[in-house]
Structure 1
Amino acid sequence: MSTLLAPATVMKVFLLLGMHPADAFSSTLALWVCAGYYAAFKLARQLSANANVATLLALLWFSFPIVWNSAQYSHLHFGFCALPVYVYAAQLLADTSTTPKRTAIVSAGVYFTTVVIAVFTDGYSFMMFAVASSILFLGQFVQNHDARTYILKFVSPVHLLAFASAYVLYSSYIGQSEYRPSDLDFFRGWALDLTFPFIPPKGTFWIWDVSGLSAVRNERDYWGDASTWVSTFMLPLILAVIYGSFKGSRGRASLGAFWAISLFGLYMALGPSLKVNSHRPDGAPRGMPASAASFPTGNAILSKHVPGFKNMRASYRWVALTYLGLWLALAYQMTNQQKRAGREDMLVLLAAIALMLPDLGKHIQNKMHQREMFFAIDRDLLKPLASAVTPEEVVLFAPSGNDFLANYLAPALNVRAFNVGGDKNVEAASKSWPPTIVQAATKPIDGMFSKRILNALLSGDVDVVILPKFDMLWGAHYWPIEHSKGKALSSHVEFLKSQPFLAVEEQDHLVIVRLSDQDGIFSDEKVSSMCLPDRCIEEQDFNPGKYPSQVGTIQNGVLYTDERRGYLLFGPYNYIRAGSYCIRIDADLDRAAGAYIDIASDNGATVLAKFPLKVGSDRSSLEKMLLSLDEPAQRLELRIFVESDTKLALRSVQLKPTSSEITCAD
């Protein structure tokens, strides 16, 4: 739900100036931080805080865990750093009721530009911008009778036009109106537990650790991950707001919009179900099923049906709105101009900042280590790859996934990669990939993995396939990293090395595979003898993880019926090119009882052929069946349906090309 296009555009300028990518990223982030700090300061001053208090209030924003702990998610970090900018732009637009018409038009232009920048920075903070600004404008309309005409006739149209335009621009850029939403279990798992804002987790906030007031939390015992409890601790801010409420120097009515922003953020952060010190049972997934929840909050209707809301699956991140609303309320309350009261305010703010900061020594040391890690990646991956690939070649890092590291390596090498990073990007991009790339990139390392790689190369859709021995997501976070895929890849690498028409270079962390530059080293006959994924299906030695089944049991690699009605097997959802094919089944069939095999495509939507299973004189082998495809089949599967009284033991199933269009030829 993000592109990071706006920061990336600035990074591009720094890269053109000769900066290293790590420094270009840091410099761009520094600009966003400076803009956020300036906007927070101006907001505080606009709310009548004096300069010293406003300076600390701006610093307070960046001490919030939701801001500094979001650094592991680049788009989110940029967005949360810029939230004060978004609110300041909204305040400028709303406050121009008392300023000249020319100033109002300038403020509208600033607001429109800010909205567009926000949508091309981060989706979460963009949605929060929409909610916060809408509440602020509504509050202004309700409280300020003199401004109602201005809000209704000028601010509201500008507001709606800005967000509608941003949505259209974003949809046009990504080529679709929205992403496929996640299951509500994810929303529940990554939602706020009501104990998290009040009890800090151990090992994060140094003052609380030293005082012994932090609690042990880990991903084994709690739903979601560590970000849900590290990012949401806000007790010091709550105490500061309580302190401010006792000052009582200004009317309470003006605080209504700020409280509304805070409460709405809290409500959405709770997710679809309420959690109060909720623990995850042993072996349960990180996503929280409805059966494990106490009672619903009612916001599932937004998370399930409303555009924008239904893509904000990490519910706890809504707590940034709670921080924002409380921060605005605190800034509004700290307006006493008496010197003594000003000093008290500053002491309260300094205490709140200190109580929400991590161990700064460790934090800075960790950032320095990450920069060193960046240069280690250059040394260990980028430099060896530069000698193995040629600029402008088309490459594929396989299998694909959240391979963010490829997003750095590919442009640094000046090659064109199919890999696009996050899961939503892969989902969108794969719709335009050639079928051979879809199969090679999106399927796991299984028995057919090396043949899918070979098929992609033979098709000419890719020049080089790179097989990382490590996880491309976590390799971008922690380097060096263990070779978690090395063992699974080893047999496939040996197979690829054995092919005389392939050139395979094995490096310390990667394996580079391309077609050999020797002409005539392979022939159509040799290729056709291989069971390549776009022209052949060959399954045997069944196991539950390799070939799905609705019914039946597996013993010693053989799939047996078990007196249940349903599909004994289905899959593997391959792209198969047009042509004539022979289906061979090796099985023992003692009783057919209405069983049949059919061949379907497009996730079962189109049945291409259907053959009844018959008991023959030789029960150890079933009759061969001919399949003709006039055009390529997408996501083809072989399905064997059995009745409860069918008796069948399946050893293997094959779909292979045949030269005959009349019968299966051996």
Structure 2
Amino acid sequence: MSEVDNWTARQKAFAILAIGLTLFFHGAVPFLMTPTLGQAVWTTGFAKSFANGPLYSIYAHDFGLPKPAAIAFGLAGALPESWLIRLGLRPSDAYAGMVALWFMVAFCSAYLISRAFEASRSVSILGAMTWMSMPTIWAHSGYSMLSLGIALLPFYFLVSLNLFQRLPVSGPKSSVFLHFGASLVSVFMDGYTFVMFAAGSSILLCYFLLTDISNRRYLITIALPVQISSLYLAYLAYTTYVGKGQFETSPIDFFRGWGLDLSFIAVPTKGFHWFLDFLGVSVPRTDAVYFGDASVWRTTFSLPVILAGLFAWWQVRRKRSVATGFLAMAIVGFFMALGPTLKINAIKPEHIQITQPRQQSAMMPAEYGLGPTGSTWISETLPGFKSMRASYRWSALGILALWASVIVWAGSSRRGSVAPVATLMLITFLNIPNLPQRYHSLTDNRAQFLQIDEDLIDKLRVSVKRNEVVAFAPWGNDFIANYLAPAIGFRTFNIGGDKNLTSAQANWPPAMLALNGELDKSKISLITKILWDRNADVVVIPYFHMLWSPHLWPCVDQTRAKLTEVSRDDWSAIPGFYCPDQRKIMLRSVIREIEKLPDVEVADSDLFATVRLRRQLAADMARY
């Protein structure tokens, strides 16, 4: 970082343009776009609940009754979003604003890493753009905090390099606090990227211990204790917050099904990369044929950065450069991404495609791969690693490491060298998705978010009073309950998120626990018992899908979103995702049976029905 002159007007303009394009590209533009929908609704529920309470509130008191709910992942996103909601932003815009905040941190961190490796300002800005263009970031937007966690990997590793190599980013004392702060952000953003941060930074520390003899005493006496203690304290803070240290582990076939197929690295999936689609080198992929789910093959195309990173390492290998440490990180990242079994275009046999269609056969038995990779013991035994069930996500660590190798090459090249700049530009260009299609998708996300408010919030607010306790029947992974409760002001047992649902169920009344699965006439007695026992003031029977409607409102056939043919097929294949009018017809006989009961009153509408005790009966019970 030898340049000490002020920024030129051209550099300032380039930086502003680069950050603006990055935020626009990712949909982090309040009042115009929202980066995703379903996870945005889920996260915003927590943020809105925090905003309804004191400024220090970090638990949701509106849903997941009877106990306050800790957000299983993403507190580092939901909390700042709650601050934006307090300032008066609409939920959809508060979510976009929160994402913009963290993406700017990610962009600036990528820039600072480039400057630390002595790349020029302009090349550093380009390098940051290249990182933010990676499919592993933008194609994970539907997973909200995972996308943010991956984007923030340069921030985590900038802090680590600052501690290990005493970069001129902060003073010695500040580097300790920065490392602890980054560890806290990481663990409360996303568990996957926290484990990547811990593993990757430990690899770098080992590399410096082996190669940096003059600095070894400092690394052993200062850097190593800080590394261990900050990661441990961050993990301890997380387990204290969520109330448990370990969630249920998944079978090894899950790791195998979500393992990285080598063909996904080399050949992009059709419909996701504009120029490569134009060249005709992309191939269509669906979960009807491949194991895992769409995230495995849509987010992992990385051949350009792999080739560039390896070439960059070759160029600087004799300079005892940190690029060798990054190469070790990349090898570990991609090795763990493969999962327990090596796969090259591994597809489901025809009999499985027929008897166990799509997600019913997402997990993969070992016999359908080429052979073991040797990581089974690691995934089954080591803490942290055994929670990384979507193995392919380890590829983000490898991509980050190879990108950093290109940055090291750019910084070590002669001023004006064209090759590293051209390489960064080419990677960025090949990463570009179909921009018109993406623009429509991002603006549709915000439009659907607002439509949920208009179609559902306003109508439900008329039927359910503030502070009433609500039970949605039947229950499931009820993403939209997170948002409805704090937005309207009622309280509910229902909650979205597998981990959150498991935690809440431990304290539910028996009648509520039994109200799962399909709603039929046999469940009517459970509905009335919940009301008679005063566990809830009202039972809401939704005709919209509590999990999938907040991802695509209200359903495939009635959405206003502009769907591609591929995405329409994917949505249509989800079992049970019916439109509200179809669901209402399916439940008509159940509703009529409930209406016959003498002690309850039913109010039916297009999107839901409410069941509550008759007013006089409820009033009499309230007096005793």
Task: Compute the TM-score of the two structures, normalised by the length of structure 1.
Answer: 0.75
2:209 counterpart letter in structure 1: F
**Alpha-carbon separation, structure 2, partners of 1:57 and 1:88:** 14
1:485–1:160 CA distance, 2 compared to 1 (3 A): farther
Matches within 5 A, 1:229-248: 229-245=297-313, 247-248=315-316
CA distance in 2, matches of 1:400, 1:161: 41
**Residue 187 of structure 2: aligned partner:** 119
Deviation for aligned residue 1:473: 1.7
Deviation at 1:449, TM superposition (A): 2.4
For the 8 Å contact 1:2–1:123, the answer to whether it is kept is no
Aligned to 1:460: 534
Q: Deviations for 1:274-294, whole angstroms, at most 9, x for unmatched residues?
A: 111100121341111223333
Give distance in 2, aligned partners of 1:108 and 1:406: 40
Matched, 1:322 2:420: no
Find 2:599's aligned residue among 497, 501, 526. 501
Q: Distance in 1 between matches of 2:474 and 2:193?
A: 31
Does structure 1 retain, via aligned residues, the 8 Å contact 2:406–2:420?
Answer: no
> Which residue, out of 217, 233, 236, partners 1:165?
233
Equivalent-residue separation in structure 2 for 1:53 and 1:180 (angstroms): 45
Q: In structure 2, what is the Cα distance between the partners aligned to 1:326 and 1:14?
A: 35
How far 1:366 moved relative to its partner?
A: 0.7
Verify the 8 A CA contact 1:194 1:277 in the aligned structure 2: yes
Q: 2:293 aligns with which of 225, 232, 239?
A: 225
Note the C-alpha offset of 1:428.
Answer: 1.4
Q: Which residue of 2 aligns with 1:415?
A: 490
Give the direction of change, closer, same or farther, for the CA distance of 1:222–1:452 in structure 2 (3 Å limit): same
1:71 equivalent to 2:141? Answer: yes
Structure 1 or 2: more strand by fraction: 1
**Conserved in 2, the CA contact under 8 Å of 1:503 and 1:514?**
yes
- Kept in 1, the 8 Å contact 2:72–2:500? The answer is no
Aligned residue type for 1:327? W
Q: Deviations over 1:85-132 (max 9, x none)?
A: 111111111123x889x9222111111111112111111111111111
Q: Which one of 122, 133, 136 corresponds to residue 52 of structure 1?
A: 122
Alpha carbons 1:143, 1:254 under 8 Å: kept: no
Shift of 1:195: 0.7
From 490, 512, 515, the counterpart of 1:437? 512
The whole-number CA distance in structure 2 between the counterparts of 1:349 and 1:359 is 19
Check conservation: 2:308, 2:402, Cα contact below 8 A. no
Distance 2:250 2:585 in 1: 32
Give yes or no for contact 2:474–2:517 (8 Å, CA) kept in 1.
Answer: yes
**What corresponds to 1:379 in structure 2?**
454
RMSD of aligned C-alpha atoms? 2.1
Code of the aligned partner of 1:69: A
Percent identity between the two aligned chains: 36
Q: Quote the Cα distance in structure 2 between the aligned partners of 1:248 and 1:136.
A: 17
Q: Which amino acid aligns with 1:383?
A: D
User: Could you tell me which residue of structure 1 aligns to residue 617 of structure 2?
Assistant: 519
Distance 2:368 2:616 in 1: 61
| Secondary structure in 2 matching 1:334 | helix
Counterpart residue number, 2:108: 38
> How many residues in Structure 1 have an aligned counterpart in Structure 2?
519
Larger radius of gyration, structure 1 or 2? 1
* Contact 2:132–2:151 (Cα < 8 Å) also in 1: yes
Which residue of 2 is the match for residue 129 of structure 1?
A: 197
Which residue of the partner structure matches residue 52 of structure 2? Answer: none
Pair 1:84–1:2, CA change in 2 (3 A): farther
Q: Which amino acid aligns with 1:201?
A: T
Q: Which residue does the alignment assign to 2:78?
A: 8
What is the rounded CA distance, in whole Å, between the counterparts of 1:93 and 1:2 in structure 2?
29
Q: Which residue of 2 aligns with 1:90?
A: 160
In 2, distance between residues paired with 1:45 and 1:2?
35
Aligned match of 2:575: none
Q: Higher helix fraction: Structure 1 or Structure 2?
A: 2
Query: Deviations for 1:191-242, whole angstroms, at most 9, x for unmatched residues?
Result: 1101111001111111011111111212211111111111000112123224
Higher relative contact order (CA 8 A, sep 6+): 2
Aligned residue among 387, 392, 402 for 1:311 = 387
Q: Which amino acid aligns with 2:344?
A: V
CA distance in structure 1 between the aligned counterparts of 2:317 and 2:387, rounded to whole angstroms: 41
Measure, in 2, the Cα distance between the counterparts of 1:148 and 1:446: 69
Q: Map Cα deviations across residues 311-338 of structure 1 (whole Å, 9 max, x no partner).
A: 2221111111111111111111112453
Which position in structure 2 is the counterpart of 1:633? none
Matches within 5 A, 1:602-613: none
Task: Give the aligned partner of residue 479 of structure 1.
Answer: 553
Show structure 1 runs of 5+ residues with no match: 524-666
Please list, as runs of the form range in 1=range in 2, the aligned pairs for 1:254-333 lying within 5 A after superposition: 254-281=322-349, 282-283=353-354, 284=356, 285-333=361-409
Q: 2:588 aligns with which of 490, 494, 499?
A: 490
Q: Distance in 2 between matches of 1:94 and 1:511?
A: 60
SS of alignment partner, residue 411 of structure 2 = coil
Other-structure match for 2:564: none
Tell me the amino acid that sits aligned with residue 448 of structure 1: S
2:524 equivalent among 450, 468, 484: 450
Q: Provide the rounded CA distance (Å) in 1 between the counterparts of 2:483 and 2:379.
A: 33
Query: What is the rounded CA distance, in whole Å, between the counterparts of 2:307 and 2:90 in structure 1?
Result: 43
The equivalent position to 1:152 in structure 2, one of 193, 208, 220, is: 220
Matched letter for residue 524 of structure 2: S
Distance 1:163 1:247 in 2: 34
Q: For 1:335, what is the secondary structure of its paired residue? A: helix
Per the alignment, do residues 275 and 246 of structure 1 end up closer, same or farther by CA in structure 2, a change over 3 Å counting?
closer
Find the aligned partners of 1:90 and 1:336 in 2 and give their Cα distance.
21
User: Are the aligned partners of 1:396 and 1:419 in contact in 2 as well (CA < 8 Å)?
Assistant: yes
Can you list the C-alpha shifts for 1:44-98, whole angstroms capped at 9, x where unaligned?
11122221211111111111111001110112122112111111111111123x8
Output the amino acid matched with 1:312. M
Is the 8 Å Cα contact of residues 469 and 537 (structure 2) preserved in structure 1? yes
Deviations 1:385-419 (A, max 9, x none): 01111111111222222221111111101111222
Paired residues of 2:475 and 2:494 also in contact (CA < 8 A): yes
- The 8 Å contact of residues 114 and 411 in structure 2, kept in 1 or not, is answered as no
Unpaired runs of 5+ residues, structure 2, are: 1-70, 556-578
Instruction: Say whether the 8 Å CA contact 1:141–1:148 is kept in structure 2.
Output: yes
For the Cα contact (< 8 Å) 2:316–2:323, is it kept in 1? no
- Conservation of the 8 A alpha-carbon contact between 2:466 and 2:489: yes
